[in-house]
Structure 1
């Protein structure tokens, strides 16, 4: 106890600077407490005399205090820093006296790494408060976000949680105010790179704070931006939880105001009009940023995710023999090559640059495939690939735009829904970067095509181009206005087409031209049309909508509506499918609008009854003053035909659906038939091979049988010779040999064969001449040799017969197996 008292007495007598660096934590704590008391009592008017400015001119001094190894002393150091920051905020022109960026970079990492990870809750709270105060001295929160970037590589959960908590607090309190577009993109890009990993962290606190940080980013950047950069990388359950958080947010995007403001923005909220800060055009305080722009102007800038994507390459990822496969005569080779490149490479591409790679060859191959390939799957994949390249290159795609436009318009004759939709979507995407003035000539040229489908697509595409057109000068000076006669001449055959769907698209194009250039500019053309067509066009003028801002003509002061009936403005719907799944019933008193790309009507195939009704419908569309008086009775009875006409329309729609289904089934049957024919050809080829092998086997068996017969004949001839020799031998030796001689007894029994005396007795030595022994030579051994030769001859005969029988059985079994195999092959193919 006495030692503690002595130590306390010893460091209390030391100076403040000595206590702040003393080895005893109590001495350091004593010094930190004295600093806190001093900062609380400092006079704002005597800042220069107090010498306190050394702490903000040398931020590393307090950085060392905050990093104190003793948790008790550290708490006192953080509280002393908090008192210093509150004093600094009250000092006039404090931002001119210090360098806020250096303070943020020096103090914020120390407060987060040591203060907010402390085991004492008071230290955590004081550290977070210090971070908010020191950031309020800066221009924006960008420096604070950047200086905390190294923490994302750490593995300590409580450190990651602290860093995430600071980000949430800063964005919630200050937001991205006074931040340039480039700084926003850099800050957002750094966060979205680490958040997917943090959202899947093993620690629950890290996951929760990550979700809260994404919510704060949502309040400033909105969901579409985050969807491209971040949300798509998260798990489905995480996306579902985030959707709930997004729905719970009730504020504006970006927030109209923040709970707390920077020091440089505080005077804007006060009622003191003596401020020297500049005012904006509304008389409000202008919050100037680093680059001289107002903070309001910087905040209203939206971020394009495309600018944040890294530039990628694709040509180095082409599949092996890609171009050779595209030139193959087999459609499977072409489709597999296109599909592999599309799925494994192009679908992952967000941004490309023409300065890094030359894409001319690959784009030319895709366009060639679209134009000339007979396989629709190859056409669709090529179209989708070009669509991705257009989005990835944007304005850099313009050198290839004309070739792509011509290829897409040429192949727009396809009626298959997925192919037609893919082509039209690629056209719309191309029009975002290849403007109307550049597309116009090619579109007008393809509008002369005789295929109805191409006319419809070109008309729809021209309508979209006009509705999104933003002229850069006065309307009457634009190239579109100068080409207005050519546009009307190209639309003339479409307006007069015998198919209603084609005519409707022409009407819409003329209506939007009237909307843009005014009715008087097209009055000469309208006078050439009949009353019914002119009426339909004028009705559409108020329904079509110009999506982009246009420059009004000089003479137009107010919209002319004398000849138009009032109608609400309705946005034209984009293409959804080239073949409608179901066509709704239409009234005979009102012309129907077909929104489908392939709206080919079947008026030419209607019965005489439907044709009559159609004529009545057209007749009733005329103004009452132009109708003949003699038709009044028919007009009165028209209402009675409304229900049958509706039923006929419904029935025709149902029949059209059935026809389409039958066509699809026919295509499937034709494909199955081709497959069966291919299998049948292969089976016939295998059958011919089997028959050939069977013939060869039969020939081989007949040869063996012939050889066997020859062997039998030779054996019989040898047996005859043996008998002759036996008879001769019997006659020649009867005088000299006794009846009881072994030789005579052997001969009498018929055991002496030709092989024993003839030079042909051995088949192995048939070519070697042998001397015939006389009966006098080795007469004692003659009976034994004769018996042995007879035994060998019988054994050879039996062995030859067995071998021949075995070979014959094997051949028969093999022939039976081949016949059974061929019969099973026929059964599988359905052949009897």
Structure 2
């Protein structure tokens, strides 16, 4: 047995990997693991052997023996660690499916852990997309435990690498399918994976799959989301090999080693947009779009825009010549009907979302008209235009739109200014590129002016702009733009800064480039060419003693000023500051001769520069040279040498430098004070301008009100004059009617004297109107009879005569064409003939009379005669009965007169 085992151990590793005995395979896996751990690189023969024979790994990870499989997975992990990207790309297409089917659902925790580690290494060494592509078909496996194990592995992969590194969309699309699986373990692991996605993506992931879930499943997931909703944003725990190299390179250059910060910055770049097939919307647009849009009827314009809206209502649109269409939308922004404006804005939004980045070329055509129409006060219209502006901005960048936005922040219409400010805020929150320094200054200046507006809502909008910009750029850059503001405004801006959510973070990426500071360090001697002119004083003392030549290396000590440190070196062996002649004499010394050859090229330019600059420092150095005798040049200069050389600068230079620094600081403070004062004055000017504008507006409103009142007063006066004229006309008409009525009354009915006159007045008026020519005769005969009654003597036969008159036959008088029968009484008597004769006599005596003369006179006589006759009648024995008959006669006459008036219209004034 031992010999057999020794024989197995002598077999090559590939043969042991494929041996039929699981123990031999297991030992071979263990031996290979040790070999891989000892290998130096992927170029080792043992590593190259398994890279070239990659197909052998399929049987290793899928070993039928679980113990051997566990060691085989460990060997694969060790192989991947040493083989790198080459071993990863050569083996992953062979092993990933087998690992998912036999390694992940293993009953041994160690084997399961090694299988997951192998998947992690495949992602780490190259990229995650091929691994995810190999795992997705496993989610349709017929065995539920394999699907559940794969879902669990995916959850751990996304937890370790994050959704930025590993694309989440392919897995999100298949989630509804696994949620509909019959196995509860599969559904449970699908929920865990969905919760992991929610930690990274929040609600942005829902459009990809949420609508395909059942309501019950949505409710269960919402409950799970609530548990992780308030957790801090997750960070990538495991880096790809490329990311590790980037971190190491950044750490080597001093750029920082916090990879999590960069990853947090780019979290917003995760693309969760569903993939759709592009729709050719241009072919669906009505051919007569331009003609119908130019119609004078707003319903026609709105109808054609609605048809275009249906054609553009697709997630993705194919590119086409939409120039004319966009110009039509821009024209519709000026339409008087708000329904047309809203529909056109919605069309712009759909077109921008469908074309995405391709819409950028149409932005300049449509953005200005849309922002100009923000003056509309109806909120629904401004919301529609705002959505279109946001969609247009998403296709471009902040740099492209900023200039136009800043122009509209100065608009004279407050509504346009406010909505433009809100649009700028939305742009700052959604942009993924931080603005440049010049753009930050432009935005800050415009927002600072908004802080002085008269309306509170505009001041708040300006503060929100500054707060959002502060969140993007950080404290160091924004402090310079917030210095001139008062504490109240700063506090308001700080509130918006704390709650602002932005997708861009300013990173000073210019910091790494300055690291090539090494070349400047090597060239530091070059700056010494300029200072030498300023440093002749220290050199004056150095040349005499040759022993001080070693002091040249000490000169670099004051390296805080590179020019000065380099200055001391060349001067140490050159010439005294007094003149160039002295410098030519000094090289006679051996030490000076040794120093001069070191800088044969540098010394000539240095000698040319000093003469004009030496007078500045000649006081300090010249003092020693001018007051010393020529015979003792070496003894006295040594004393001043020690003081200037270590310092590198003379006392005069140092004092001058300090004075200049103080002057610079004073000027800087003065400039800051002027800037602060200017900001305050500008603020006051804006406030006064706003107050002036408000006063002008109030004055205009008052003038318009006064004019309106004057117009009303003129109208009231006009109405009053018209009414007065009408009243006067009515009065004149009333007076005329009164005069006409009085004239008619006087002409028709004079006032009666007694009851009998009333009775006979009606009768006479009726007879007169019926036949005016016979009125005098009838009236004269009638009243003549009455008068004859009144003049009859009172005798025993008198009563009888009256009775005979009343009871006698009716008067036979009747005119042709008259409606009055001439009967004065229905009573008849024996003495009717005598009465008739008396009546005839009276008629004959009276004759024909005119209505205006004889009629009136006879009527008066007749009335008196009638009264006498009635008086005589009342003395008779039949007086009561006669009175009743007289009443009946009177009543009969009145009725007939009324009938006559009604038929012939009597009562009109007679001609």
> What interval of TM-score do these two structures reach, taking the shorter chain for normalisation?
0.3 to 0.5
Taking structure 1 as the reference length, the TM-score comes to: 0.46
Larger Rg: 2
